[in-house]
Structure formats: C-alpha cells, structure tokens
Amino acid sequence: MKLLDFLRGERKKSASVAKERLQIIVAHQRGQRDQPDYMPMLERELLEVIRRYVKVEQDAISISLDRDDDCSVLELNVTLPRS
Amino acid sequence: MAKIIVVTSGKGGVGKTTSAAAIATGLALRGNKTVVIDFDVGLRNLDLIMGCERRVVYDLVNVIQGEAGLNQALIRDKRVDNLHILPASQTRDKDALTSEGVEKVLESLSEDFDYILCDSPAGIERGAQLAMYFADEAVVVTNPEVSSVRDSDRILGLLASKTRRAERNQEPIKEHLLITRYNPARVDHGDMLNLEDIREILAIDLIGLIPESEAVLRASNQGIPVTHDANSDAGQAYTDTVSRLLGEDVPLRFHEYQKKSLLSRVFGGGRR
C-alpha cells in the first residue's frame, strides 16, 4: 500500500505528519497538567497489579482524574487482549 | 510600575536571547525605559548579543548577594538611550539565584523602568522558573518544529501554575506566541509546520512571526540587535512585534511565500 502511494506520488507531506503527532502528544501533556504528582506512580503500580493476572501491553492502560466541585472520579481504562 | 515580560521557550536555541535583545531594543526605540535581564546563570550570552560583553563588571548574582548595587551592575546601551542590560553571572553555582533576591531586584527596577524583560534560560529548571515567576506577560518563542512546539506547550503549563500570578489566583499571565525561524518556502512545500497549525496546537495569540533570515546571524556577529537592521525582514518583523506588544494592530508580514520570477532567479534577489 505504501509502495503504491509512493508510486502515485501521494506521499504525505511531512508537515502534516508533524501536526498530527503534535496534536496527540500535546493533548496527552495537557491531560497530565492538572493531575496530582502521584498519578504516574499510581499508573505504573496499577499496571503491575493487572499484569500479574493478565498479559497487557504498556500502552493498554490509561488513567485519568476528573474533578467536579464536590467529588473526583478516577477513571481507569484497560484494554484486555482477546482471549 | 514596570511591566515584566519573560521571554521563554523551554527548548534551547530557538531564539530567546535574540528575541529578548531585539524586543528590548524595539521597546526602548519607541521611548520606553527598558531593562533586559539575563537569567541564564553560568551561560550568559545576552551581553554578547547586545554587544556589551566587554563592559560587564558586576552581574545579577552580585546584586542579589549584596556585592554590588543595582546601578553598578546595570549597563547602559551604547545605541539607545532608554535601554539597560543586567547581565547574568558566569558562576557555576546554580543556587546563586534566590526567589527573594530576584523579587527585590525586580521591585527596585520597577520604580525606574517601564518595561523589564527577563531572558529565560532553556529548560524548566530553577533559572527558567525564576525568570517567569514574577512576570505579567510571557513571550513564548517557538520554532516551526515538533520538539520546540511540544516544549512550548510544557512552558505554557508552567506559566499557568508555577508563577506568582497563578499562585495568588490573580489575573493569569498574558501569553504571546512568537514564531521564529519561519521559512515560508518550506511551509509552501509542505515540509514545515505552518503558523496556523502552531497557533492551533498551542492555542495562544500570535504576537509576531520572524522569518528565517541571514540578518539574524549578521546581527549577532556584530553584537547589534537585529531591530537596528531596519532594512532586513527580521528587523522589521521584530519592530512589528514590538508594536503589537504595545497594543497596536499591525498586519502580519513575511509569512507568505513569494515565488521568484525567472528574471530574479537569474539575476539573484536583493539583500535579505
């Protein structure tokens, strides 16, 4: 497929690749901006626990903390492999 | 009361010092009493860009540690009346800058000056945090390149949380985007992020766009801020940037690619 694109001369411009990559990484950075300092550690340890039972990849887990006025919600998302 | 503006970026080598020198010069040329402070303790360079490296006697750290008075350390610019430089020290002691010391220096400068520009070191360590801590406005210098844009976003996060205004819940620091080393031909070709993309990703106002220009190296070679090179594209772009900082509505220049005609290709362009 890539070869076909190449032959057709439809190579994606490098600037648009840069933009897509940046949008993802910046969104990720902003998500971490307001979170407490213990979050990366918490994420790592949760991943360890889950890995004791299921074989999951490093990036199969996402964790976020949403704060409302009177309560906080810790959201944990794990993509499990097909068994 | 002076307005304190930090020139910052996160990433090194994007043009912080060049921009701090050029903007300070532009503000002073417009009649504002301006001082520009080098916060890069250990690696001072603002003095070189301003062309006063041989007149440095005392520096910021000397003043903070009480070894010299502020007036002894301030260097008067040779070219512009209203412009002063406060150099950084070459000491390798990272803890030489204290928050209280910096606050004191800024407070006393505030009485005499209209604008205080803080030229931040690269990185997000102590020096960079102190340079931004007391700021009212921030100029975030960004190159159209992925690592620079990402680091600028990190800096925006710090400006919103690790500054005096943020800690005191005051009106947030006014953030301005300054894009430097912009090459319209490469943008046109699809090989460089365009200014709309950068503005969209960082989501802050554009205060200026400086084209990649031979004039910048020429200026630093000579120790004359590029603003003085009024015929150059970069010099004019910095002058526009200063006008916008002063609240004027100036249209953007130098962002569009002008295809060269055959004739000008054959005979070469004029001076850039």
pTM of the model as a whole: 0.85
Residues from chain A contacting residue B193 (CB–CB below 8 Å): 15, 18-19, 22
pLDDT at res. B93 = 74
Q: Are A18 and B146 inside 8 Å of each other by CB?
A: yes
Take residue B207 and report the two structure tokens written for it.
């205060």
What CA–CA distance (Å, rounded) separates B86 from B61? 10
Q: Which of B98, B97, B103 is nearest to B4 (CA)?
A: B103
Query: What does DSSP say about strands B115-119 and B3-8: parallel, antiparallel, or unpaired?
Result: parallel
Q: Write the pLDDT tens digit of every residue in B149-198.
A: 999 999 999 999 999 999 999 999 999 999 999 999 999 999 999 999 99
- Residue spans per domain, chain A: 20-79
Q: What is this model's ipTM? A: 0.83
Q: Taking residues A32-54, report their average pLDDT.
A: 83
Q: Are B153 and A23 inside 8 Å of each other by CB?
A: no
Query: What stretch of H or E contains B149?
Result: helix B146-159
pLDDT at res. B247 = 96
Nearest by CB to A26, which of B153, B160, B161?
A: B153
DSSP chain A: -HHHHHHHT-PPPHHHHHHHHHHHHHHHHHHHHTS-TTHHHHHHHHHHHHHHHS---GGGEEEEEEE-SS-EEEEEEE-PPP-
pLDDT at res. A12 = 79
Does the A20-79 domain belong in CATH 3.30.1070.10? yes
Closest residue of B to A29, CA-based? B154
Which own/partner pairs from B241-244 qualify as long-range (CB within 8 Å, at least 24 positions apart)? B241/B22, B241/B23, B241/B26, B241/B178, B241/B207, B241/B208, B241/B210, B242/B23, B242/B26, B242/B27, B242/B29, B242/B30, B243/B30, B244/B207, B244/B208
Please indicate if any CB of chain A lies within 8 Å of the CB of B179.
no
What CA–CA distance (Å, rounded) separates B77 from B225? 11
Strand-pairing partners, residue B211, are: B182
Q: Write the pLDDT tens digit of every residue in B216-243.
A: 999 999 999 999 999 999 999 999 999 9
Amino acid at B129: Q
Q: Are A15 and B197 inside 8 Å of each other by CB?
A: yes
What CA–CA distance (Å, rounded) separates B56 from B48? 10
Q: Each residue's pLDDT tens digit in chain B (272 positions)?
A: 899 999 999 999 999 999 999 999 999 999 999 999 999 998 999 999 999 999 999 999 999 999 999 999 999 999 999 999 999 988 767 678 899 999 999 999 999 999 999 999 999 999 999 999 999 999 999 999 999 999 999 999 999 999 999 999 999 999 999 999 999 999 999 999 999 999 999 999 999 999 999 999 999 999 999 999 999 999 999 999 999 999 999 999 999 988 776 666 666 655 55
The neighbour count for residue B195, using CB atoms within 10 Å, is 19
